[in-house]
Structure 1
Amino acid sequence: MSSSNKPLLNFLSGITFVILWASASSATKIGLHSVQPLVLSIPRFILASTLMLGIAHLFMKQSVPTTKTAWKKIAIYGFFNVGLYLGLYVVAMKEVSAGLGSLFIAINPVLIMLISSIWFRQPLKLATVLSFALCMVGMLIAAYPLLDGSHASVLGLCLLLLCNISYSVGAIYFSKQNWEGMHILTINGWQTLFGCLFLLPFAIYFYHPELNNFDLSFLGSVVWLAVPASIIASLLWMSLLRDNPTKASAWLFLCPIAGFTIASIIMKEPLTWYTLAGVILVIVGLYIVQQMKTPTNAKVGKS
Structure 2
Amino acid sequence: MYIKQLQYILAGLVFAVLWSSASIATKWGLQVSQPFVLAITRFCLAGGIMIFISHIMLKHRLPHGNEWKQLFAYGILNIGVYLGLYVLAMQHVSAGLGSLFPATSPVFVSVISALVYKQRITAKILFSLSLCLIGIVVAAYPLLMKSYASPIGLFLLLLSMLSYSLGSIYFAKKNWQKLNILTINGWQTILGGLLLVPFMLFYYDRSLNTYNITFWSAVSWLAFVVSIGAVQIWLYLIRQDAVKASFWLFLCPISGFFIAWLLANEPIDAYTGLGVMLVIAGLALVLKRK
Fold shared by both chains (TM-score > 0.5): yes
How much has 1:148 moved relative to structure 2?
Answer: 2.0
Is 2:19 aligned against 1:42? no
Find 1:198's aligned residue among 195, 200, 208: 195
Find 2:169's aligned residue among 168, 172, 183: 172
Counterpart position of 1:132: 129
Is 2:225 aligned against 1:228? yes
In the aligned structure 2, how far is the partner of 1:79 from the partner of 1:151?
29
Counterpart position of 1:149: 146
How much has 1:245 moved relative to structure 2?
Answer: 2.4
Find 1:282's aligned residue among 279, 282, 286: 279
Cα-to-partner distance string for 1:64-84 (whole Å, 9 max, x where unaligned):
1121x1111000000000000
- In structure 1, stretches of 5+ residues that fail to align are 294-303
How much has 1:150 moved relative to structure 2?
Answer: 2.5
In the aligned structure 2, how far is the partner of 1:292 from the partner of 1:206?
45
Counterpart position of 1:270: 267
Partner SS state of residue 289, structure 2: coil
CA 1:274–1:4: 2 relative to 1, 3 Å: closer
How much has 1:247 moved relative to structure 2?
Answer: 2.4
Of Structure 1 and Structure 2, which has the larger fraction of its residues in helix? Answer: 2
Cα-to-partner distance string for 1:193-247 (whole Å, 9 max, x where unaligned):
0111110010110111111111111100000001111211111111111112232
Partner amino acid, structure 1, of 2:126: V
Moved over 3 A (4+): none
Query: What's the C-alpha RMSD, in Å, of the aligned pairs?
Result: 0.8
Counterpart position of 1:6: 4
- In structure 2, stretches of 5+ residues that fail to align are none
TM-score, normalization by structure 1: 0.94
Is 2:33 aligned against 1:31? no
Cα-to-partner distance string for 1:21-67 (whole Å, 9 max, x where unaligned):
01000000010111011110011000010111011101111111121
In the aligned structure 2, how far is the partner of 1:89 from the partner of 1:172?
19
Partner amino acid, structure 2, of 1:33: Q
Is 2:65 aligned against 1:107? no
Find 2:249's aligned residue among 249, 252, 257: 252
- Bigger drift between 248-257 and 173-182 goes to 248-257
In the aligned structure 1, how far is the partner of 2:151 from the partner of 2:32?
23
Report sequence identity in percent: 49
In the aligned structure 2, how far is the partner of 1:230 from the partner of 1:267?
22
In the aligned structure 2, how far is the partner of 1:250 from the partner of 1:104?
15
In the aligned structure 1, how far is the partner of 2:270 from the partner of 2:12?
27
Is 2:34 aligned against 1:20? no
